[in-house]
Amino acid sequence: MAREVIATEKAPAAVGAYSQGIVANGFVFVSGQLGLVPETKQFAGGTVAEQTEQALKNMAAILEAAGTSMANVVKVTVLLADIGTFAEMNTVYSTFFPTDPPARAAFAVKDLPLGGLVEIEAIAVLPG
């Protein structure tokens, strides 16, 4: 199986031993994205809405670097520090997937890296 590591400066560098994304067998696997602004390495804001928007922008940049887009996302996993913020996250999330959204799971977790409020990972297909 061919495997290609995806890395872009348009998304935050990994904060651990992982790649931003991996292409394998026609799929793109995007590692969990926090709401960090790539240039500053700081959270985009203190709300779930702000961090969700930035996490999804980071995901879009990684997908673009891999040769695909948000339109080709087939599965998303959302991790929330507080499930009570689900509606706030979902409002922003819906703007990135306005029609035919991908399959998704959302979970509340005890903590997220760097004290984030939301982390989002995805699987997409390559076009063609």
Q: What is the CATH number of the domain that holds 25?
A: 3.30.1330.40
CA–CA gap between residue 57 and residue 25 (Å, rounded) = 24
Query: How many CB atoms neighbour CB 44 within 10 A?
Result: 19
pLDDT digits (tens, 9 = 90+) for 60-108: 999 999 999 999 999 999 999 999 999 999 999 999 999 999 999 999 9
Q: Exposed, middle or buried: residue 122 (CB in 10 Å: 0-12, 13-18, 19+)?
A: buried
- What pLDDT does residue 14 have? 86
Percent residues over pLDDT 90 in the chain = 95
Q: Tokens for 49, please give them.
A: 């809405």
Tell me what pLDDT residue 117 has.
98
- Is the pLDDT at 1 greater than 90? The verdict is no
**41 is in which domain, residue-wise?**
3-125
Residue 20 DSSP code: S
